[in-house]
Amino acid sequence: MTFINENFLKLSETYLFVEIGRRVEAYCKTHPEAAIVRCGIGDVTEPLPDACIKAMHKAVDEMAARETFRGYGPEAGYEFLRHAIAEGDFRQRGIEIADDEIFISDGSKCDCANFLDILGAGNRILMPDPVYPVYADTNIMAGNAISFSQATAENGFVPAPPDAPADLIYLCFPNNPTGAVATKEQLAAWVAYAHRHDAIILFDAAYESFVRTPDLPKSIYEIPDALDCAVEMRSFSKSGGFTGLRCGYCVVPKAVKGRKQSGGEKSLHALWSRRQSTKFNGVAYIVQRAAEALYSDEGRAQVAALTGFYLENARLLADALTRAGRSFVGGVDAPYLWVKGNKGMTSWDMFAHLLEQAGIVATPGSGFGAKGEGYFRLSAFNIRENIEEACRRLAAISLEKL
């Protein structure tokens, strides 16, 4: 009989958001009358920007004629999109990223998971707690030992680098799940730590389009020394509403190197390119044209409006929590609010409580790690009517002193 990867046996039985879906579905079955407001998984609700729709219609027409039809595309993405990204997200902001250092993908979740393919066994992994569960789960699958830096109310949910060394560091800002955003000084401390220990940072910037406060960094590469120690992942899921379309990208600067067991070093760019061209077929041409459209003047304005809409949702939720006397962080420059639960309740107790008493789906903080225990996360991705309803219900349950 074929052997299995026993590391999978060390995982919780279901992925966090699958487990939430399962519990909500079970609740709805027994309470068909319940009008649920879903503030759990961060899934977008607003239609795609008009610029994308137009670009996709045009791309569909191209696919309908032999002269303009496209078959297999380049695995790392079409040059038109790699160029638009390198230019629009980096070079125009004074960051020297070459077009071929951009790898188009079907999203950051896959990129941060797949990146482990090109890294060896035995790396010392460091990530915050609480953390986006994909970083932890994929390292467990790979059999890696993980250390956690604790993100707490005391450090504003932005942990400082520890004294102990690490080889691979995961950072995510604006943060999922807490909504905390690191300053340039805080990121610079992590970049200095990475250099001190010859480590690599995997920087997840999936929520950068929500940053509005001037001077807060949107990219790790705003720290000049990061170009030889950091890989950055970005996504169009939340900026352009692409959760269903699927498109993101990974920046792998050629200067980022890893160590060979036999001595010497190797550029991760070459390895990632090899991995992607072998295991990935690229993103659909039509979808890449939609992503390119986000970089037009029209597209940029529409992204600003879309993310502004969710930020206003976050502000409404924050106001409601404040009025309800709840302690929370996030919701500014980020679409998530990280809320302290009721005294004596675990995160899953609080999840059940919010569902049963207020019909609100939240994400239990402990699903993001031990330090998330006692918290819950609210997502601002929803239609306005639902957010307003969630605000009313949050006010009502606070009166009942739940």
Measured from the CB atom, the residue of 42 and 282 that comes closer to ligand MLT is: 42
**Least distance (Å) from ligand MLT to the CB of residue 100?**
26
Using alpha carbons only, give the angle 285, 90, 157 rounded to the nearest 5 degrees. Answer: 105
Here's the x/- map for ligand MLT, 354-393, by CB under 6 A: it reads as: -------------------------x--------------
- Shorter beta-carbon distance to ligand MLT: residue 166 or 361: 361
Q: For ligand MLT, which is the closer residue by CB, 186 or 379?
A: 379
Residue written as token pair 């502000």: 315
Q: Which is nearer to ligand MLT, 174 or 217 (CB)?
A: 174
Q: Using CB under 6 A, pick the residue from 105, 139, 149, 176 that binds ligand MLT.
A: 176
Distance, CA of 358 to CA of 328 (rounded, Å) = 18
109/257 with CB nearer ligand MLT: 109
Q: Does residue 307 bind ligand MLT (CB under 6 A)?
A: no
Of the candidates 20, 38, 42, 221, which one interacts with ligand MLT according to CB under 6 A?
42
Residue 333's nearest CA partner among 221, 183, 193, 231 is: 183
SS3 146: strand
One residue of 41, 110, 142, 397 binding ligand MLT per CB under 6 A: 41
Q: Which string of b and e fits 23-38 if b means at least 16 CB within 10 Å?
A: bbeebeeeeeeeebbb
Helix locations, 255-374, DSSP H? 268-279, 285-293, 297-323, 347-358
User: Which residues of 166-306 form beta strands (DSSP E)?
Assistant: 168-172, 200-204, 230-235, 248-251, 257-259, 265-267
CB-nearer residue toward ligand MLT: 318 or 380? 380
Least spacing, CB of residue 356 vs ligand MLT, in Å: 22
For residue 384, what are its two tokens?
Answer: 């306005």
Q: How far is the CB of 302 from ligand MLT (least distance, A)?
A: 21
Residues near ligand MLT, by CB under 6 A? 41-42, 109, 176, 379
